[in-house]
Structures are given as C-alpha cells and as structure tokens.
Structure 1
Amino acid sequence: MTASAGNKQHKRSSQTRDTLIATAELLYASRGIDSVSLNEILAASGHKNRSAMQYHFGNREGLLQAIIDRHSQQVYALRAAFMDSVDTTACSGPALAARVFVQPIADYMDAETAGIHYVKILSQMTVQNTALIYGLEKAPITLTMDPRHRRIAADALSHLGKTEANRRTFLSVGMVFHSLADIYRLKDIANKPDELSDRRRMVEQVVCALQAYYAAPAWQ
C-alpha cells in the first residue's frame, strides 16, 4: 500500500469513527442510553459494515468512553482557563468549587450543541455508574478530574470527614449534570414561565445550590 492510499484509508476510518460517535450522541441524548442499540446507531449513521462498531469501540462501554473523551478535553480546557483567570482572594472554598465545577460545563453547552448531548448522556450515566463518579480504576468507563479541580473540591469539603465528603461528591455530580441537562431541555418547551427562560440565571441557581451544599455542616 502506498503512503497516499494509506492516508486515504486512515482518513476514511477516522471519518467513520466520528460519524458513529456523533450519531450515538444524538440518539443517546434524545432517547436514552438503554433505549438505543449499537445496530440502530450503525444504521442511523448510514454505515453498512456491521464490524465497524466493534472495530472502533469494541462494545457500548467503549463507545460511551469515546463520547466522554471527545468532549471532556474541551471542558477541561475551559475549566483550566477559568481556574487561571479566577481571583482566589475574592472567591474561595465552596463558592470557588461550585463555580469551577458548573461554569465551564455551562459555557461548553452554550458554545456547542453536541455539548448539550454530552451532558444529557452524563446525567444518565451518573445514575447507573457509581464507579464513574469516583474514578475507580476498574470502572468500565472513566471520567477523569483535573488535579487542581480535585484540590479545590477537597478544600470545599475539608470541614467534613472522608465518608461524608464522599457522599457529597457522589450526590453533587448527579445534581449538577441533571440540573444542567434539565435547564437546556427547557429551550424546547413552548409557553414556559418567564422565570425558567433565562438560562444564565438558571445556571446561577445551580452554582448557588452547589455552593450551599458544599458548605453545609456534616449531618448529625
């Protein structure tokens, strides 16, 4: 095979992979992860090669991991830029942790339609996959956390014992992804109340709620 032919084959393979991921994102976000089969994704993508899905992803978990990886790096970049710019003398502790968690995700959802799909999918996965939230090595799907973000979150929960902090972490992840997914679902609903129409203010409510949750004293 010549170098030119090899490059063309690699390009076609990359395009096939991207098409499968984009199709899966749309179907998973609109219908639910458990309601869509790999064969349906393959058919909707327009590809007829049944081995393409297994070749590129192996199984459903591999496909979901590819979706997460596709978007996570962009969210991490937004979060890193936010952490670089924030004035930690004016914003720290639970207030900083809540803002660092929520704002980059909301910004990404505003910038990319596929970002909305990404968050809708993650909101489903947090219910089903405890290991995803805790970043366990044996988890079939992993969602890594920036070390600086991890330190900021740990500082916000430093008034709690380890067990209570882990509970807050687990519940906060689900709360944020579900809340943001619901906020962006509202745009498709006609005749919604005015107070639910301003996404920016709704996102601020999520930040405030998370800040209060981080700061709350330990349960007795």
Structure 2
Amino acid sequence: MTVTRPDATAQPSGSTGARDLLLAAAERLIGERGLEVSLREIAVAAGQRNNSAVHYHFGTRDALVEAVVELRQQALEQERLERLVQLDADGGTDLHSLVEVLVAPAFHTPYAMGATHYARFLEKVRDHPALESSALESRQWPATKMLIGRMAKALDDLPPRLVELRLRSMMSAMFALLADAERQLERAGRRPKAAAAAPVVDMLVGMLTAPQAP
C-alpha cells in the first residue's frame, strides 16, 4: 500500500477542498502519532496557510475526530447492509458470518476511497466518544447496530453482563487487529483487501465464544 501525503496543489482551492485535505491529514497524522498531534501540524500537513484552519472548518478537535470517523462510515455501512441482505437471503445467522459482515468491509472499502491510515486512526481514537457503544449503535450506523444486536442474541447462553463485556472487547480487539494488518500490508507494499479479513474474523469469533470461566 503506497502512502500518499495530502498535496494542496491536487485539490480545489475552495473550502470543500481545504476540508477534505484537513480530513486526510488528520487521519494520517493521528494514525501515526495519536491525538497529541497539534491542530497546527494538521493544518500545515494539509497545505493550509492559516494555522486556525481546523477551527474554521470543524470548530474543535473532537468535531474533527468525529468527521474523520464519519468520512468512511457511510460507505462501510452501505456495504455491511448489502452483505446483511445477502446473508439473510442465504439463511446465514451464525456468529462467524455476522462478524465477517462487520469486519470484511473494513479491509477494502476505506482504501478504495483513498485512505492509507484509517485503521491506525481508529486504533488511536477508539476511546473517543465518537466510538463509544452508544455511537456504534446509533441510527446513523444501522448495519453496525443490527450486527451488534444479532451477535448479542447469538451469545444469549451467556450472562448479559458477560455478553456486553465480550462485545465491547471484540470492538477494541478489532481496531487493534485492523491496524496491525494495515501496517503489515503497507510494509509489504500491498493494499488491504477483504480476503485478509479471514484470520481476524476467526480470532474475534474465538474471543466471543471462549469457554466461560467457572
């Protein structure tokens, strides 16, 4: 996977182009260094002469993080919904299939949109309010909401508190495993693709279905 840094000359000079550049720069820099990166550095990396460009377009750091999350989410949700429809048509309700619908799109959809650091960005911001359980199950993310609900139902032989703990832990593990895969594929000069999701899906299913301790 080739990392392409934002280039101010390759985008429109209007506010829409500047906003897109800021989102790309924020995704890359936060993915590389975490939330401690300054808003000024993001503006500079986006080719913006005004150091207050982030404040102008987003208002706050939190709003910028939420905007980067949402940048890819609509396309991810659309693919997950399409996979869910196909899964229902095929009569698939097993936990492994549900986890695959959640994970597989994350291995190619963001990169088809030009992302290079999306998984690493999510790993760095996974404790942010934009990625809390309530946000993941919000109406704006219908596919994710349905998947989490179906996974919980598939685990109904476990105590509710344990189900909640395992689902929350699965999401955290998913972010970390996606980020690791993204790094490894970048080093190998390859783009992530859906086929690379298989071992991650297996690991996450194993986490959800591990024997319950006495």
Scaled by the length of structure 2, what TM-score is found?
0.79
Distance in 1 between residues matched to 2:169 and 2:81, nearest whole Å = 23
Alignment partner of 1:107 is 2:108: yes
Counterpart of 1:97 in structure 2 is 98
Alignment partner of 1:20 is 2:22: yes
Distance in 2 between residues matched to 1:210 and 1:42, nearest whole Å = 37
Give per-residue Cα distances to partners, 1:41-83, cap 9 Å, x unaligned: 1112121223321121111111100001111111101111111
With over 3 angstroms needed to count, the CA separation of the structure-2 counterparts of 1:131 and 1:158, relative to structure 1, is farther
Write the letter of the residue equivalent to 2:121: I
5 Å-filtered alignment, 1:1-220, equals 12-34=14-36, 36-86=37-87, 91-109=92-110, 111-114=112-115, 116-126=116-126, 128-129=127-128, 132-135=131-134, 146-189=144-187, 202-220=196-214
Alignment check: 8 A CA contact 1:97 1:211 kept: no
* Greater share of residues in helix: 1
The CA RMSD measured in Å over matched residues stands at 3.0
Residues paired across the two proteins, number = 198
With over 3 angstroms needed to count, the CA separation of the structure-2 counterparts of 1:24 and 1:143, relative to structure 1, is farther
Alignment check: 8 A CA contact 2:40 2:52 kept: no
With over 3 angstroms needed to count, the CA separation of the structure-2 counterparts of 1:130 and 1:18, relative to structure 1, is closer
Distance in 2 between residues matched to 1:61 and 1:180, nearest whole Å = 23
- Taking only the aligned residue pairs, the percentage that are identical comes to 29
Write the letter of the residue equivalent to 1:219: A
Alignment check: 8 A CA contact 2:77 2:141 kept: no
Give per-residue Cα distances to partners, 1:70-119, cap 9 Å, x unaligned: 111111011111111125655323112211211111132453441x4222
Distance in 2 between residues matched to 1:149 and 1:200, nearest whole Å = 18
Alignment check: 8 A CA contact 1:93 1:152 kept: no
Where structure 2 has 5 or more consecutive residues not aligned to the other structure, the ranges are 1-12
Distance in 1 between residues matched to 2:142 and 2:119, nearest whole Å = 15
Alignment check: 8 A CA contact 2:76 2:106 kept: yes
Alignment check: 8 A CA contact 1:123 1:181 kept: yes
Alignment check: 8 A CA contact 1:132 1:143 kept: no
Where structure 1 has 5 or more consecutive residues not aligned to the other structure, the ranges are 1-10, 191-197
With over 3 angstroms needed to count, the CA separation of the structure-2 counterparts of 1:109 and 1:73, relative to structure 1, is closer
Give per-residue Cα distances to partners, 1:156-181, cap 9 Å, x unaligned: 32222221111111110111111111
Distance in 1 between residues matched to 2:175 and 2:195, nearest whole Å = 16
Distance in 2 between residues matched to 1:89 and 1:59, nearest whole Å = 45
With over 3 angstroms needed to count, the CA separation of the structure-2 counterparts of 1:199 and 1:76, relative to structure 1, is closer
Which structure carries more relative contact order (alpha carbon 8 Å, separation 6+)? 2
Q: Which has the larger Rg?
A: 1
